[in-house]
Structure 1
Amino acid sequence: MIKLVRRTAVAAGIAALSLASSASWAASYSYDFKTFFDTSTALDLLDTKTLSYSVASLTIADITGGVQVTLTQPTNAFPSKTGGTFVEALWLAGPNGTLKLTSSNTSLAFGSGYNWLLPQIKDAGYTYPWNIDFASKTFAEGETTTLTITGSGVTAAAFSKAGTVPMIDLGNVASPYTGLLGLNTSVHFIGALASTPAIPEPATYALMGLGLVGVAAVARRRAA
């Protein structure tokens, strides 16, 4: 019986040590879209405003071979024309990969994808190689859409590096945000990082493994 306990403890300790040294942890980053660029006047293009509520939220999470992108637009109080606001585009800074829409409530516009040669340069100089356009007035308030981006080096952390923020184009907006001569129909919101992944420290599992090995050693000594 003691031999069985010893062997089991040793095997568990080795497995824990192996896990601690080679594990790849899944990460998830969440963003709130509260800050927007006010384009209500010709001289106000870089002026940002922050709301007390969020017009959208975004989660970028690791999956096998890439990331899942989940974007939600709740019912909001932002000034809009008939029909409420619509998310017209999502811009991301991250590595190239294969884009796939996995929800059926909306559709992608022609040309959506990665463009390293002509990245989108938006308000305040933010640059986005990923330009994900949604078909006109398909991403309404109260809806959530999900996409996946897969490929080599595509991770949630790669899309959430310091100095990069996601941005959305919120359309069908109303006065006073219709710009000079009332011709503007959308405003841009930047996402503020709301939560970062709670990643277990590999050292924790290493210590657990060492503890199990210690138990095995004690069992062996007593059996001698």
Structure 2
Amino acid sequence: MSEATSLLRLQEIDLSLMRLRKAADQLPQRAKVAAARAASKKVASELTKIVGQRKDVEIDLADLDERKAMLTDKVSEVQADASPGSDHRAAQDLELSLSSLAKKLEKVDFDTERLLEKLETVERAERNARGLAERLAAEEKAQTDAWREAAADITIQAKELTSERERIVATLSPELMGRYDEARKRFGGLAVETLEGNRPSACRVALQPSSFSDIRRSDSDITTCPYCRRILVVSREA
């Protein structure tokens, strides 16, 4: 097989692979996979926020527990320091100190109760989010399996074409492959055209007589279109 023929076959393979990839992406299961994945990502983001809120509440509760222990110890200290038969002034000071500590303890208990209610709400939200995340993960797996099953024939064709492509590429010169890859990127896959009469098959711009004559007199089967700059195959075999 000549380089010109190999080049044209390479382009046929690449265009077929593009069509197969597009066909796989357009399977309805593919859209369902994408939807489940997007939903999972959103839930994961929300779960991260909820976990952060739970940890903040737990830290605040730990701080309140520590403060309550400190105040309780302080009450014990005040009571222990009270001397029996103290004068009226000392008794008043003791009562004021204990009253102040009692109010602070009451405030700690109130804040603790409020945070415990908040913790219960946050933990419920976390359980719901984790449950939803598990269901979405199962849905994504189910849709992915369904997509792969639906795309099985496409995958087989793609593997066969890819193997043939590798064999063809091995026969082409690095210089020609460089030109092909560059043109393929530039023209969205349609990198090679053939000469049909005096018109290149892709751009369809008729060659000037002088250009047509020069190309026909050339020893090379592969040249460049003077108009669109695609690779132009002019061999009779092509």
Query: What TM-score, normalized to structure 1?
Result: 0.28
Task: Specify which structure has the higher proportion of strand.
Answer: 1
The one of the two structures with greater contact order (alpha-carbon pairs below 8 A, sep at least 6) is 1
* Higher percent of residues as helix: 2
TM-score (norm 2): 0.26
